[in-house]
Amino acid sequence: MLLIELKRFQEAKALFRKVVPVARRVSGEGDENTLRLRMIYAQVLYYDPDATPDDVREAVTALEDVERIARRVFGGAHPLVKSIELELRISRAKLRAHETPSS
């Protein structure tokens, strides 16, 4: 999160591309920490002011997957699920903004 706050998105992307697969392999898809890491990686993708439509699309796809897994594992009322839902709404709005032609 510190890298996001410092707006060092490229470093954060590189770090998460290494860490997330390890977390998935070691802890499993349904592990809370793995799900959090995947959510933060998605944030890195779409918070970046230089994010491409493909970056934002990747973030939305990842969040949809994470939300589905988290809901199955923890239930819809879990705070992590609520956080993921919020990030998913924000990322979808950003994707719509990317895909809407400028006037």
Query: For position 58, which CATH number holds?
Result: 1.25.40.10
103 occurs within a structural domain: no
47 occurs within a structural domain: yes
> pTM, whole model, 2 decimals?
0.89
Domain that holds residue 9: 2-98
In angstroms, the CA 52 to CA 97 distance is 11
70 occurs within a structural domain: yes
39 occurs within a structural domain: yes
Give residues with Cβ within 8 angstroms of 39, minimum separation 6: 63, 66, 80, 83, 84, 87
pLDDT at 102: 63
Token pair recorded at residue 71: 């809901």
Domain count, the chain: 1
Nearest to 45 by CA among 34, 58, 64, 61: 58
Token pair recorded at residue 93: 């709005």
82 occurs within a structural domain: yes
Q: pLDDT (tens digit, 9 = 90+) per residue, 62-86? A: 999 999 999 999 999 999 999 999 9
